Amino acid sequence: MSPLDFIKEFYLSLLEQGWTLNDIDEMDFFWYLDLMVYRANKEEKKKYTTIDKVIGL
């Protein structure tokens, strides 16, 4: 996906969630991306567990 296509998809996604173009333009884009990476990593960690939790130690 090209950078331009990414931005278009990003804008469309936020517009579908009720954001306005002005809201999107005024946001801190890099902070938003950082938050999305944080959430993705947090959700990914939930998928894994330790053997101790599996066997009930």
Against a cut of 0.75, is the pTM above it? Answer: no
**Whole-angstrom distance, CA of residue 35 vs CA of residue 44:** 14
Looking at the structure of the chain, the number of domains it has is 1
Residue 24 in tokens: 């999107």
pLDDT tens digits, the chain, 57 residues: what are they? 898 998 899 999 999 999 999 999 999 989 988 998 999 998 887 777 677 777 766
Q: By the 8 A CB rule, do 24 and 32 touch? A: no
Instruction: Please name the residues in contact with 23: beta carbons below 8 A apart, sequence gap of 6 or more.
Output: 14
**Whole-angstrom distance, CA of residue 5 vs CA of residue 9:** 6
Domain of 22 in residue numbering reads as: 3-55
